[in-house]
Amino acid sequence: MIVNREIILKAMVRMQKRKKIAVLGYGSQGRSAALNLRDSGYDVTIGLPPQSQSRKKARADKFAAIFSVSQAVKKCTTLCFAFPDHLQGKTYKSEILANLNENSTLWFLHGFAVHFGFIKPAAHCDVILIAPHAPGLAVRDEYLKNKSLSAFYSVHQNATGRADKTVFELSRAMGFKKSKLVKTTFEDEALGDLFGEQAVLCGGLAGLIKNGFEVLVENGIPPENAYLEVAYQLDLIIALIKKHGIEGMFERISVAARFGSLEAGPEIMGESVKKKMRSRYKEIESGKFARKLNNLSWAELNSLSKNLKKLSSPLFEKMARKFSS
């Protein structure tokens, strides 16, 4: 039997009695959390610094309750930590800890700040993790389509005895079906998330694409061709891997691609790369990377975008814009 989401949400509202949640931060993940929670019947307060440019976005989304972080914490018993990881420890000490209500729930979207010790949660609080396996835009889009992404969840501290119930209620309100939730720990989520995005999904993939593009162009292949060969078809290959596995992907591509992959794959991405990955993981596991991130100065943050340009090239970006239209 198909149950209409509207009926479920109405029932949730009755049970929740308009439970108040403060979403601290209004970036990609914060916005999706705030909108999904509101649409699921929660009374959402936004917590942002007075000078934050994100206040305009929140007002445009028709949120009337927009306060400073400390004020938002005072008004709510459930707090969603949706602002950048490297600011969470400092902000917790300066604006959150002294303003916590008794038996509050501290809800983290990543395990970073708690696992690496930048936040030592108050003993009277529940501490939970709901970490979506997607950027905020996708979380919101799938919610609107009445579809469910997967997400990690964990209960780190259960002061009230209700933390397990809370994590499933909030997951449902965010649009995550219980069958799509994967149990983890703050440690495993923090280490896996940092390593995955640095070594494979973002840093590693960007480097692989850039190098392949440049090798083709250096050898006289037109940049349009190079882009189409090393980047444009990525979503198709990734879709095959997600649906059928790596072996299944190889079964569904040409003989030339399979034979060439067998020769080139281990040569290009063999033990030397794996050795560097192991080294990177050790740096993450030791907390060295976390400390560097936590100690970033405003000058270093402002130069981040400029430095990231080194991971691409003007010619590649030109091709990406050309084929995205």
Beta-bridge partners for 135 = none
3-state secondary structure of 22: strand
Q: Give the span between the Cα atoms of 234 and 255, in whole angstroms.
A: 18
**Cβ neighbours of residue 172 under 8 Å, at least 6 residues apart?**
8, 12, 40, 178
Provide the 8-state DSSP code for 243.
Answer: H
Residue 37 backbone class (left: φ over 0; alpha: ψ -120 to 50; beta: rest)? alpha
User: Could you confirm whether 156 is annotated as catalytic?
Assistant: no
Q: For 148-160, b where at least 16 C-beta lie within 10 A, e where not — what string?
A: bbebbbbbbbebe
**Cβ neighbours of residue 112 under 8 Å, at least 6 residues apart?**
85, 88, 118, 190, 193, 194, 290
Single-letter residue type at 208: L
Q: What are phi and psi of 83, to 5 degrees?
A: -105, 170
CB 32 within 8 A of CB 134: no
CB 113 within 8 A of CB 90: no
In 3D space, the residue among 77, 75, 117 whose CA is nearest the CA of residue 93 turns out to be 117
In 3D space, the residue among 308, 321, 318 whose CA is nearest the CA of residue 207 turns out to be 308
Q: Which of 110, 115, 156, 244 is catalytic?
A: 110
Kind and range of the H or E element at 93? none
Cα(first)–Cα(last) distance of the chain, in Å? 42
Tokens (6 digits) for 55: 């206040």
In 3D space, the residue among 95, 100, 98 whose CA is nearest the CA of residue 49 turns out to be 95
Q: What positions carry a catalytic annotation?
A: 110
